[in-house]
Chain A
Amino acid sequence: MAVAALFASCSKNNDNIEPDYNEDNLASLSVEFDNIVGERTLVLNNTASLYTNAAGENFSLSKVQYFISNIKVSKADGTTYTVNQDSSYFLINGADKTTRFATVKVPEGDYTKLTFTVGVDSLRSTMDISKRTGVLDPSGSMEDGMYWGWNAGYIFFKMEGNSDVVSDDTNGDPTRKKQFKYHIGGFGGYSAPTINNIKTVTVDLTTAGIARVRSDRESNIHLFVDLLKVFNGTNSFKIAEHPNVMFSEFSTSVAGNLSGMFRHDHTEN
């Protein structure tokens, strides 16, 4: 009896009966991209308390920005809803906590699977400039922008920081600031084919909690985004060996690590 009461008090709403699927009756769902670094929270410019990667390199982070787009949710019976594309682009900025939620509208229902793109799909990357508003506006500066003008396309993932292992020569940082830069992009090319670093991530929600989307509350899928995976993922590498990765063949290795950053921690219904 006491246990049952406890369960009941955990649920904000006892009405867990799934409503009928109706694409005309949309409710709010948020996906939280909570940046972490291994066992620690993300603190930018952490020069007094450095992070360490699997290769034993100590580093601090000064900039973390990435695009999340094309959000889809699926129910246990396989029904999948794709969020209206015009409202499905988000720029998560590690320096601005308010950007960590990607909030979308989906039909009421119980969702067991979440799918999204890390980056910007090729269709949007070639659309007329009038369709590139909000976070897709290509007007940002070289420093903070997420767009390559010379090779027209978005930078999907940008992470910069400092490490003493970065050399002072042209392979490292000739300005002697010991800075490393990872700018990962490449949507496959307009007419001539080139590298494609668009990654699709699918997260199973059944273990850590399905999303019960209802119009009278906001369900929040809380993901941890482990930035240490950039170095320690399936294609692990050393900062010392690759301190600058932008538009190059090696960027596909780094991009291969990005999908592994996302881990479902829990869902708040």
Chain B
Amino acid sequence: MRKRAFWLVLLCFGMMLYACKKENEVKDTVSEFLGFKKPGNFPEPEYKLDNNPVTEAGFLLGRSLFYEPRLSRNNTISCGSCHIQSSAFTQHGHDVSHGIDDRLGTRNSPPIMNLAWNKAFMWGGGVYDLDLQPIVPITTHEEMDESVENVMAKLRQVSKYPTMFKAAFGSEEITTARFMKALSQFMIMCISANSKYDKVMRNEDGVSFTADEQAGYELFKVKCAGCHSEPLFTDGSFRNNGLGPSPIDDQGLYTATLQATDRYKFKVPSLRNLTYTAPYMHDGRFLTLNGVFDHYIGEVQATPNLDPLLQKQDGTRGITISTDERAKLTAFLKTLDDEDFISRKDLAEQ
């Protein structure tokens, strides 16, 4: 009997030791590079990870390239110049992006966020593969005004890069494909999935919505989710949301497809991290969320291809939202802010 008790004590002690050991192991794993992990409440990614598995060395190289001003003609502008982490990788406060030699573009800098779930890139489409997307800002006159060929020639002269390419891809050779794949590895790791909304959806840490947030969520599902579908808060489609054409008459998707039915259609943006990403719309015309509400409530214009969801049965246009509903929707939209995403050290310039 006594002997039995002894073994029992020993067993408990052993279990305790094991538990301690396990905790240490968990800690080690967290500090290790985990690679691309799909958040529990997200669908399968669109990006073909099989063609470009994310590795620690590839991610580190991608991050280095993302913050590398040599990507621009005069080595002054990096991707991070217009995609600033503290603004959820947009250029806060700029209606249109501000590039090389103080040149101005024509569109608002979109966030580098959850791109692995994107089917198309750019406000007006035209790019359908993340690996080909960086060519656009690098070669655009108002952005970096450089050629990819020349960027690679410059990188070959910087001692750290051949070493980093070797670590990521097995040899020091710097090619277009490797350069693009490394950038993609960094960009697809910019995942925003730690907002209050996400925690509620995943039943994490006992987090729950306030009454207003919950009411706002219910309103959202009825009035907004037709285009800004969960959990990415965009359905990835191109739609005309009734903005009056800009002075430059940017026709959006039409420019890339030349189909009359695509005139004035722009990519539906995600509603995540709105607090950090003002101003809004493809040309940054609305400085505040209130400006956006005002548009949908009373300013939607009957331009060609206006989205049917904004066409009411009584012949008027827009979305009916009362003052009270606006407050509740705003409360809900704030739950999509992801403080962790805009402050994570691993995504920052080192």
Contacts and interface: CB of A to CB of B under 8 A. Distances in A.
B235 interface: no
B176 interface: yes
B136 A150 contact: yes
A191 B126 CA distance: 10
Contact of B125 (A140, A141, A192): A192
Nearest to A143: B147
Contact of B147 (A128, A139, A150, A191): A139
Q: How large is the interface on A (under 10, 10 to 19, 20 to 34, 35 or more residues)?
A: 20 to 34
Q: How large is the interface on B (under 10, 10 to 19, 20 to 34, 35 or more residues)?
A: 35 or more
Given A139-B152, A192-B125, A130 B262 contact: no
Interface string B121-149: 01001111101100110111100000111
Given A138-B176, A141-B147, A150-B136, A190 B259 contact: no
Contacts of B15: none
Contacts of B326: none
B119 interface: yes
Contacts of B128: 126, 152, 190-191
A142 interface: yes
A79 B196 CA distance: 66
B74 to A, nearest CB: 15
A32 to B, nearest CB: 28
Contact of B176 (A132, A151, A191): A132
A56 interface: no
* B-side interface mostly: helix
B312 to A, nearest CB: 28
B131 A141 contact: no
B20 interface: no
A187 B135 CA distance: 19
Contacts of B147: 139-142, 145
Given A132-B177, A191-B120, A149 B132 contact: yes
Given A129-B176, A151-B126, A152-B132, A139 B51 contact: no
A44 B46 CA distance: 46
Interface of B: 48, 51, 119-120, 122, 125-129, 131-132, 135-136, 138-141, 147-150, 152, 175-177, 180-181, 253, 255-259, 262
Interface of A: 126, 128-130, 132-133, 137-142, 145, 147, 149-152, 189-195, 247-249
A128 B51 contact: yes
Given A138-B135, A140-B148, A151-B126, 18 more contacts: A126-B128, A129-B176, A132-B176, A137-B176, A138-B132, A139-B135, A141-B147, A147-B135, A149-B132, A149-B135, A149-B138, A150-B136, A152-B126, A152-B135, A192-B256, A194-B258, A194-B259, A248-B258
A155 to B, nearest CB: 13
A192 B135 contact: no
B149 A140 contact: yes
